[in-house]
Amino acid sequence: MNGADGSGIFDETVDKRAFFDTLVLSIWGERKRPRASLVGKNIPIGGKKRAYAHVQKGKLPSGNPYELKHGLSMAKRYLPTMMLRLRSEESPLTVIDVTTALRELCENVTRVLISEAELTFDTTGVSVDDYRQLILSPARTFTQIPSDREPETIYVAGRTSPWQLRIYTKSPTVTRFEYILRAEHLRKVKISTPLDLAGARHLDLNSLCSLRELDETAFKKLVTQLDDLRVRAVQHFRRNLTLQDCLRVTRLKLPKSAFLKPAIAKRLEKMQRRLLYDPYLAIEPLRKMIAALN
């Protein structure tokens, strides 16, 4: 598995390291005429409901694609002058991609903010359904989309929520577990500039969605304290529903001691701590660039 084949799956990250699959940057500045090798197409996208008149598409030296929306509508001057979307295609996105994009595509920049970040974990040996059985989250929205043509996808939280979790089959052997962190949540966890993204390795993702399994011995002991009718109901739902659905339907309150952390949860935590974003010394050019804006 290698991103160079266009799969977006990378040997250095699968089961080893989290990475950013997509980054969206809000930029206040001017569009710079880039080198010819970096430009693909400059497409008009203007319309009454469009904030920007054009989108410039191309690829960075890393081979990763970018889209730069520009030509801000006069009626929407409160918006950033440009929106830059970076995606991992040939390699995981790192600070090098961000620094290169800002240097090569923009000039006279006064401000850069992260508007969206997709924090991605590629895992093997765990299916979408395996994840579904383990999910515990305070999110109100839980959507499962089966399809004959596309891989099954699970969404935790909604499209307009400050964050959203997406789980889907990326390849026959790789399942992607991916947090979409939007501006509201990013500001809440003190991530504003591209420089702050390195701190994502320390985010408390369990407060958004944790993966847990029941300690069956503790569970059976707790259930025996219920009346017979409720015991039968709990046992029925436990056999036929996911853990989260069972707890919701039965309104059963269990102590933390009744849950165990599965191996995949421990693997994801290790991958998060080893987040691939700021390779040795690569952070310094971005640090200087951000400092120059303040």
Residues 126 and 22 reside in one and the same domain: yes
List, for residues 109-120, the tens digit of each pLDDT value.
999 999 999 999
Residue 279: CB partners within 8 Å, gap ≥ 6? Answer: 94, 95, 96
Q: For position 140, what pLDDT does the model report?
A: 77
Residues 149 and 243 reside in one and the same domain: no
- Token readout for 130 is 């395996």
The DSSP symbol for 129 reads H
From residue 2, give the alpha-carbon distance in Å to each of 13, 58, 89, 150, 186.
Answer: 10, 21, 10, 22, 30
Number of domains present in the structure of the chain: 2
Question: 139 or 121, which is more confident?
Answer: 121
**Over residues 230-245, mean pLDDT:** 72
Residues 244 and 99 reside in one and the same domain: no
Q: Say what the pTM is.
A: 0.88
Segments forming the whole domain that contains residue 65: 3-211+262-293
Residues 59 and 124 reside in one and the same domain: yes
Residues 221 and 106 reside in one and the same domain: no
Q: For position 283, what pLDDT does the model report?
A: 72
Residues 277 and 234 reside in one and the same domain: no
List, for residues 23-67, the tens digit of each pLDDT value.
999 999 999 987 777 778 888 887 777 889 999 999 999 999 999
**Over residues 1-8, mean pLDDT:** 64
Residues 142 and 255 reside in one and the same domain: no
Residues 49 and 189 reside in one and the same domain: yes
Q: Is the predicted pLDDT of residue 2 greater than 70, yes or no?
A: no
Identify the residue whose tokens are 């940057």.
25
Residues 269 and 243 reside in one and the same domain: no
List, for residues 187-207, the tens digit of each pLDDT value.
999 999 999 999 999 999 999
List, for residues 142-166, the tens digit of each pLDDT value.
787 765 555 689 999 999 999 999 9
Q: For position 227, what pLDDT does the model report?
A: 64
From residue 71, give the alpha-carbon distance in Å to each of 52, 75, 220.
Answer: 5, 12, 63
Residues 93 and 224 reside in one and the same domain: no
Residues 238 and 199 reside in one and the same domain: no
| Distance (Å, whole) CA 111 – CA 81 | 10
Residues 37 and 145 reside in one and the same domain: yes
